[in-house]
Amino acid sequence: MNVAIIPAAGSGLRFGGEVPKQFLMIAGEPILLHTMRRFDRCPAIGGIVVALSEEAIESFGRVIDGAGLRLPVRLVIGGRERSDSIRHGLEAARAWAPEVVAVHDAVRPFVTVEQIAAVIERAREVGGAILALPATDTIKEVDSGMIVRTIDRRRIWRAQTPQAFRYDLLWRANEEARAAGLSSALTTDDALLVERLGAPVAIVEGSVHNLKITTPEDLLLAERLFERERG
């Protein structure tokens, strides 16, 4: 089977509020639960692992108990860095002997069942696959406020999640990044760790609707999108 891993153990306080953004409520539920429901509805997924902070694990466990999800859920305590939380997630998933794991941002609740299934299918074929969007703006490399060069936009894609990999491949990539002491500032996504091994990672075209809720403006937009969905 295939397993979703959702790292949600960060403090995520860039909003400046008291509550990490993955626990903010939209349409009556925490953003993280909305995100989990997308995976719960995807027939390609057989289980969900969520990495949480020690403070959050008990209260969010109660939320999950009452959520009526179809899939088995394992909650694990996250690590110091995002990549440590992924490793804890991979360890917890091992009991399910997953073929492919799909790592997904806790704050991207608009991913579709079809997108999840497409990324997993591609990862089964290739080893790794991520959802990404072609760049629409022209991209400049800049140093000290001055343009150094213009990058060929046709080759530029913006990485989103899910990012899916054969289990063993992501495990090895995560281990090797750890052994190399790769800085957390550089390891912002999991594809990067797999790319470092020289393993191929395919692109599946995503959508602008797969919004990452990062700013207060995103939160307002997300509320509107949920209202529209519920029509």
For ligand C5P, the closer CB: 75 or 126: 75
Phi, psi at residue 110, to the nearest 5°? -105, 10
Name the residue with tokens 């990044």.
Answer: 177
CB of 9 to ligand C5P, least distance (A): 3
* Most distant CA atoms of the chain, gap in Å: 54
Residues 101-140 as x/- pattern, contact with ligand C5P by CB under 6 A? ----xx----------------------------------
- For residues 116 and 37, give the distance between their C-alpha atoms in angstroms, rounded to a whole number: 12
Residue showing the smallest CB distance to ligand C5P in the complex: 10
Kindly report the number of other CB atoms within 10 A of residue 86's CB atom: 27
Residues 6+ apart with CB under 8 A from 149: 140, 141
Name the segment binding ligand C5P (CB under 6 A); options: 76-84, 108-116, 125-133, 220-228.
76-84
Q: Which of 87, 166 has the CB closer to ligand C5P?
A: 87
DSSP per residue over 30-89, as a string?
Answer: EHHHHHHHHHHT-TT--EEEEEE-HHHHHHHHHHHHTS--SS-EEEEE--SSHHHHHHHH
Among 27, 41, 77, 79, binds ligand C5P (CB under 6 A): 79
CA–CA dist 115, 130 (Å, integer): 10
Cβ proximity of 194 and 128 under 8 Å: yes
Residues 33 to 72 in contact with ligand C5P, rule: CB under 6 A: 51
Nearer to ligand C5P, 44 or 50 (CB): 50
Is 77 an interacting residue with respect to ligand C5P (CB under 6 A)? no
Binding-site member from 4, 8, 219, 222 for ligand C5P (CB under 6 A): 8
Query: Which CB sits closer to ligand C5P, 179 or 186?
Result: 186
Q: Which parts of this chain interact with ligand C5P (CB under 6 A)?
A: 7-10, 12, 22, 51, 78-82, 85, 105-106
